[in-house]
Amino acid sequence: MSAASVLSDIKKGGNEKRNEFVWVNQERVYAIGLLATGSPQHAQEITIATFRNAFASIKQGLPKKDNELTIWDWLSQFVVEACAEYHAQNSDPPAEQDIDPAADGSANMEWETTVLLGVQRIKRCLGSLPEDQQKVFYLRHHLDLNYDQISIVLNQSVEMTMASLFRARVQIVKCLGRG
């Protein structure tokens, strides 16, 4: 279902549809806020700001009928904006780091997993990663954010995001190879 049709239903459906939309998406939004801030209270504030801004946007008008735009693609922009605002108020700017994603292959590697690997093995391998790599991996592969969005959520450079994700993938592949 496209974002335009879901949002049209929400606009027509009133509070019941809005509450249902929040119920379906709040856990995902909160998880991103928690990863961005490390604080349940701030994550809750980001979640509230996300939905407040999303519903204000609906009042201003619906996005154009674009069958490519999913509801998560539409909503994720509001989560990322709320995280960016949080970091602007509470964090130092991302540190400049000399990272060359082309040197380690992180600029052009995409992740593929097969059913044969097994969920439990992957979870065990994920649990062995450093915290920063776990966050990047989770935001990319579980919460479907892109590199730019992840870098904003975690208040780091896109290059650092790409490098962390690449390193996480390499460690998972090594861990899975060991069985």
Mean pLDDT of the chain: 83
**In the chain, where the domains are located:** 3-90, 101-178
Cβ-defined contacts of 130-137 (< 8 Å, 24+):
132/164, 133/164, 133/165, 133/167, 133/168, 133/171, 134/168, 135/35, 136/161, 136/164, 136/165, 136/168, 137/165, 137/168, 137/169, 137/172
**Which CATH number is associated with domain 3-90?**
1.10.1740.10
Q: Considering only the top CATH level, what class is 101-178?
A: mainly alpha
pTM above 0.85, yes or no: no
Find out whether 125 and 178 touch, Cβ atoms under 8 Å. no
Residue indicated by tokens 């450079």: 157
Question: Over 90: is that where the pLDDT of 50 sits?
Answer: yes
What's the pLDDT score for residue 116?
46
